[in-house]
Structure 1
Amino acid sequence: RWLKLNALRMDVSIEEVSEQIAALALQGPNAFEILRKIVDLDLSQLRFFRFKPGKILEVPVIISRTGYTGDLGYEIWFRAAHAEAIWDLLVEKGKGFGIKPAGMLALDVARLEAGFILLEVDYIGAEKAMIASQKYSPFEIGLGWTVDLKKDHFVGSKALRELNGRAPSRQIVGLEINLSDYEYLFRQAGLPPQFPIAAWRGGVPVYKDEKQVGHATTGGWSPTLKKYITLATVEQEFNQTGTQLEIEATVNYARKTTGVTVVQLPFYDPVRKRAIFASSNGSKETTSAERLEKI
């Protein structure tokens, strides 16, 4: 729809082919080892956020070094008719590495650990914003790096140039819940602490000295970090790493507050996610750890 709206008065035709294309995401520390067994291209030098064409089972594919998790990963794009065969091959080759299918609930926790924001959850899109406070700029949601103000013209350029140089009034940050405070609230109620296994979504108030200064939008227990973490939008003066705030928590149907600390995003960012893999030589097969080289 966006493409069609912006193609008005242009000599261009647009065809919707989304349902003809399938994508499989292979994510995790062993993604490189599994994928290199089935694809006919050298993955060792494929850098983060780059892509290469190749073949799997003689099927043309595009391999991108991307994913909606905080770990090493690849996404495989190909004609949907071949999805089942390529899925089965990945599962078979990944058995020795403990490969497991993962659904949306697992993906939501993984993207939380990665500090990845989600449209209509962590911020409201321009088309659905009804009042000024619901409108977000890229500078407020951690996407300022995607804006090149040196370009002559692009959609939204005038508005973004007007914002350039001004500190945003709010910022999306990471919050880490103080487990001692959180567990104490449950202990007072005679209950064991309850940690959300699935990531929750919604506007949970964030306070400083009993004054609301923001709201948390996604939160949950991180199985990787063994921490209770959230993404939140807070006022500019409270976005510095180490700032102590409070967040609302419901215990036995009663609203309480517990301490949180502003932490740097992403929560989880291993070196291997953006690393390149040095090719092994012909005489000696090396391990992933030996091949791993930081960019």
Structure 2
Amino acid sequence: MMLSRVAERVYWMSRYLERTENVARLLNVHTSLLMDLPGDMEINWYTLIKLFNADELFREHYGKEASEENIMRFLIADKRNPGSLASLFLSVRENVRTSLDLLPDATWEQVNQTHIIMNNSLSSISSRHSRQNLLRTLLKQCQTIRGIIDGHMSRDNTYRFMQVGKYLERADMTSRILEMGSLLLSKSRSNNLRKYEGILWTNLLQALSARQMYQQRVRSRVKGSDVLPFLMMDGDFPRSLYYTIKATGHYLNQLPEPEIPLVMQQRLIEYLEEQDIPSLLPEGQVHTLMDHLQGELGMLHADIATTWFYPDRDEQQQSQAQAQG
């Protein structure tokens, strides 16, 4: 069995890498979306701050100046925000640096190159064009790093901890995207929002790289009553909630003594299977469900940390506090 501190590093490296890719894609898609919408909509730049539960921290540093520039700087470049892309990728780099003997040699080269590209680009993110270029580059670099890992690593416990981190992080992001989608389902949504629902649901799919696979599976126009079950329960799409939580269990089961985390993972699967998805469409139901799932995913993380990272200590006190954001 690998050392607990080593297991924790590669688990968090994988979570941070997945989170970086997901946030970069979301910011890119959200920017494109807002360019297609009128200004007086429930969905705006500040929607991103609420999505990441960062209201308090944003207001602490930026007050009530919720401009596009301030929000993008906070989410991309501000290292006072542990959920900014600059902070997240710095954590990827640090966890890779301290795990070089476990990872393919090319991993560090790609991570370091990405770190340099990002640092050289942060000063120009007030330009929307430059910002979008950075986000697209970051997406490609994260995918390249993941490709190196998937193509060159032995399927040992190091790899399994990384897969657990990846799929747990992916489940969390999908739940947050669907929570944002609850605005689109609300009975109290404005007539303006109703007029643009097709565009909004399409962009929500794009935020999870899901549009093409959705169209292949559903074969009809994009609408919430089809998007929601696809992103919640599709067993073949690797970013659906059901798939990501199933995959988390698959890799947990290959680790030593996984019984406690597996109980929580199975509880999440059963909870999803119990949902009557059409009944979630009324106002408030999707938000409530996703909020509950995020709490349960946090508990699954705590079980993982207690089982393998800090088996003899209180996880609450000893964790790196890296689950924030």
TM-score normalized by structure 1? 0.25
Greater fraction of residues in helix? 2
Structure of higher CA gyration radius: 1
Greater fraction of residues in strand? 1
Structure with larger RCO (C-alpha < 8 A, sep 6+):
2
